[in-house]
Amino acid sequence: MAVYYRPLMQTGPARPAGTLPIAGGWGWAAHAERLERGRAPEVVPISAIPDSLRAALSAPRADLAGLALDTPRLMGILNVTPDSFSDGGLYLAPEAAIAHARAMAAAGADILDIGGESTRPGAAEVEAAEEIRRTEPVIRAVAGIGPPISIDTRKASVAEAALSAGAAIVNDVAALTFDEALAPLVARAGAPVCLMHAQGTPEKMQAAPHYENVLLDVYDFLQSRVAAAEAAGIARDRIFIDPGIGFGKTLAHNLALLQGLSLLHGLGCPILLGASRKRFIGTISGAETAPARMPGSITIALAAVAQGVQILRVHDIEPSQQALALWRAATGM
């Protein structure tokens, strides 16, 4: 049976000798949680974990499209769609989308993630030509304003149009499993790529999600997708990973992933988390509408930063920026 070790990340300047730095960032670990299917977790000293895993956990991560990842980064969400669960219809007109992109950049977004297909539960697939029609002009207009642009798509033709229009990063919620032409395109372009875990397609994924052990299953999936991406010629230091909150997951699955996030550092890649305004925040807090879930979204973002997550995909840049600044100040980061 495979054994997994989750570093129990701590932060702050009072760092004991012999602790392991996590991902060259703001955290370190003195202990790890030893996890094995069918066995109770056990806390062990960090010195007990294998050397190869220590190396993967501690190595500084490469810059992402020019952004150093030794501090948490904000990815601002811009959905140029009529039906996204939170901002659907708000930014379908290019002028509105461009204005929102500029506002997020001014508020401190480090990356702008632009998508033309909703992947909310129940959403139907959008034709590639329509996705390009929505995203390409907006990307062309905002590619020079500052933050690198990422294209949120599962399709090679959409990614290709976006990269030609000035996007620098590909964000694929299907982890290169939807369109077999996407991996070679990303490899040729030398673009960084986000590989996200999902169970099922957006249309059906919330029907009956099932895992043997959600945290370990997601880890194994991402490990195999990182290996597949490398086999397709994508350099490991251009790959980042995402557990895919809400993509084929119940409330219990989402919470198990959030509580175990630091396990994913063992894959040696930067981690992205997209929890902003998602349904589980409404379920726990009672906040019915997506915008009313902002405080819960920020709380989740800070909990993720405490586990070393480097990139937070959020709708509300200004409040997230404020929260991070105060978190840094309060923790002595």
Binding site for ligand HH2 (CB under 6 A): 77, 79, 81, 84-86, 115, 118-120, 152, 171, 173, 194, 196, 242, 244-245, 272, 274, 313
Catalytic residue among 54, 140, 278, 293: 278
Shortest distance in whole angstroms from residue 275 CB to ligand HH2: 7
H or E stretch including 221? helix 214-231
Q: Which of 227, 301, 302, 303 is nearest to 268 (CA)?
A: 227
Q: Is 155 a catalytic residue?
A: no
Catalytic residue among 134, 140, 277, 313: 313
Shortest distance in whole angstroms from residue 117 CB to ligand HH2: 7
The DSSP annotation for 164-181 comes to HHT--EEEETTTT-S-TT
User: Given phi > 0 = left and psi -120 to 50 = alpha, else beta, which region is 175?
Assistant: left
Shortest distance in whole angstroms from residue 105 CB to ligand HH2: 18
Taking CA 199 as the corner, what is the angle to CA 2 and CA 225, rounded to the nearest 5 degrees? Answer: 55
Shortest distance in whole angstroms from residue 194 CB to ligand HH2: 5
Q: Per the structure block, which two tokens stand in for 210? A: 């099932």
Taking CA 302 as the corner, what is the angle to CA 300 and CA 308, rounded to the nearest 5 degrees? Answer: 110
User: How far apart are the C-alpha atoms of 173 and 153, rounded to whole Å?
Assistant: 7
Q: Which is nearer to ligand HH2, 118 or 206 (CB)?
A: 118
Q: Is 293 a catalytic residue?
A: no
Q: Per the structure block, which two tokens stand in for 53? A: 């895993």
Which residue's Cβ lies closest to ligand HH2?
274
Q: Which is nearer to ligand HH2, 23 or 46 (CB)?
A: 23
The set of catalytic residues is: 278, 313
